[in-house]
Chains A and B, each alone.
Chain A
C-alpha cells in the first residue's frame, strides 16, 4: 500500500532536480556572493572547488582554473559571480562565472602569492630583460584613449622627439574586462606583420584595486611573453605592479615612460654641434701628426745619406793608402832603383847593361846618368 502523501506534486529524483534547476534559472540566473574562501582545491589542473562562508553559512562553488586570476588560498575574501544549480549527484553548488578579490587585505595577499609563484618561475629575472631601442621609430601603446595617462605620454613624446609612428590599442585599464583586453592587445601587437619596436603599457595612478589588472597573472604573463620589448608605466608611489616587474623596463609615470623612450631633441642638437666641432679637431690632429711624422722621416733620410757619404770617404782613404803602398815610387823609397837605356827602356840584366853606352838610374829622389864599366 502506498503511503498517503498530502502533496500536489509527485516526482522522480531526476525530475525533482530538473525542476529545481528550472526554478533556480528562472529566479536567479546569476548571483554575486561575497564570503571567505575555504576548502579551496584544484583537481587535475583544471577543476576548481571551494566554499564561501560567513559566520553561519557555507556554500559550495565549482569552476575551472581559467576563471582564476592568480593563486588563491583559504581565508581570502572573494566576490564570486555564478549560476546556482543542483547537480544530479553532488547536490547544490554555484557554477563560477567570475571571481574578484574583495578588500585590500585579500588583494595584497593575492599579490604576494602570485609574486612568489612568478619569482620562483624566474619570470622577473634580470637576465630576461632586453634593452629598448633608443630611440625607437615605431611605438605601440596600450592604454585607455581617453585617459590623462595617454594624453601626457603623447605630449611629452612629441615635445622630445619627432617622426615617430605611434599605434594605440585602446583598452580598459581597470574593471573586470581590463586584464583580457590588455593581454589581447599585447598578443595582437606581437602578431602584426610589421610590429612596433617597443610596447608601452601605461595608466595613471590609483588604489591597489584600480591597478588590479596589472597584478593579474594573465597580464603579467602576457608582458613577459611579448617578443616586442616592453615598457610598463603605472603611475603610483609605493607598490610596483607585477606587470612592471615582468617588463623589460618600467617607468614611474606615463610622462616618465616617454622620457625614457626617446632623447630630448634639444640636447641632441647641442651634442651634434659638439660632435661637428670634435670631427674638425680630430682631422687637424691627424694632419698635425702626419706632419710631425713626415719631418721625422725626412730627418731620418738626411742622416742616412750623411752616413753613406762618410762611409764612402773612409773607403776612399783606405784605397788610397793601398794604392800608395803598391806604387813603384814607394818601392824606390825603400832603396831600389830603376835602370833604363838611352831610349828609356828598362834594363833588366847586367849583361844588357854592359852593352849600353850609358844608363839612366832612377832613384827615389831623382835620376842620374852612369856609364857602365866592362864586366
Chain B
C-alpha cells in the first residue's frame, strides 16, 4: 500500500462511514458517485481482510529495576 503509516481498523471504518454519508447526497454527480462507490468497495474489502488477518501477539512488559 502507499503511504508509510498503515491505517487502523477504526480509521478505515470511519472513512467508510464518510463515503456512505457522501453517497447519500441526492445531488451528487454520477462521476463522483461512481468514484465514491469504488472507494467504498475497496474499504469494505480492506476491512474484511483485516478481520481474517493474523492472530493476536502477546508479549510481556519487562519490569523496571526490581
A283 close to B33 (CB less than 8 A): yes
B50 close to A163 (CB less than 8 A): yes
**A255-297 contact mask (Cβ, 8 Å, vs B): 1 or 0:** 0000000000100110010011011101101110110000000
Interface size on B, residues (CB 8 A): 35
Which of B24, B30, B48, B52 contacts A287, CB < 8 Å? B30
Q: A182 at interface (Cβ–Cβ under 8 A)? A: no
List the B side residues contacting A163 at CB < 8 Å.
50, 53-56
A167 close to B48 (CB less than 8 A): no
Q: B2 at interface (Cβ–Cβ under 8 A)? A: no
Which of A185, A278, A287 contacts B61, CB < 8 Å? A185
Nearest opposing residue in chain B for A191, CB measure: B64
A286 close to B56 (CB less than 8 A): no
B41 close to A272 (CB less than 8 A): no
Interface size on A, residues (CB 8 A): 39
List the A side residues contacting B37 at CB < 8 Å.
279-280, 282-283
- Total of A-B residue pairs, C-beta within 8 Å: 99
**A120-145 contact mask (Cβ, 8 Å, vs B): 1 or 0:** 00000000000001110100100001
List the A side residues contacting B60 at CB < 8 Å.
145, 167-170
A184 close to B44 (CB less than 8 A): no
Determine the distance from Cα of A265 to Cα of B40 in the docked complex, in whole angstroms. Answer: 19
Which of A168, A265, A279 contacts B44, CB < 8 Å? A279
Determine the distance from Cα of A168 to Cα of B52 in the docked complex, in whole angstroms. Answer: 24
Which of B8, B24, B30, B55 contacts A162, CB < 8 Å? B55
Q: Kindly identify, within residues 26 to 61 of chain B, every residue whose CB is under 8 Å from any CB belonging to chain A.
A: 26-30, 33-34, 37, 40-41, 44, 47-48, 50-61
Q: Which residues of A contact B (CB under 8 A)?
A: 133-135, 137, 140, 145, 154, 157-158, 161-170, 184-185, 188-189, 265, 268-269, 272, 275-276, 278-280, 282-283, 285-287, 289-290
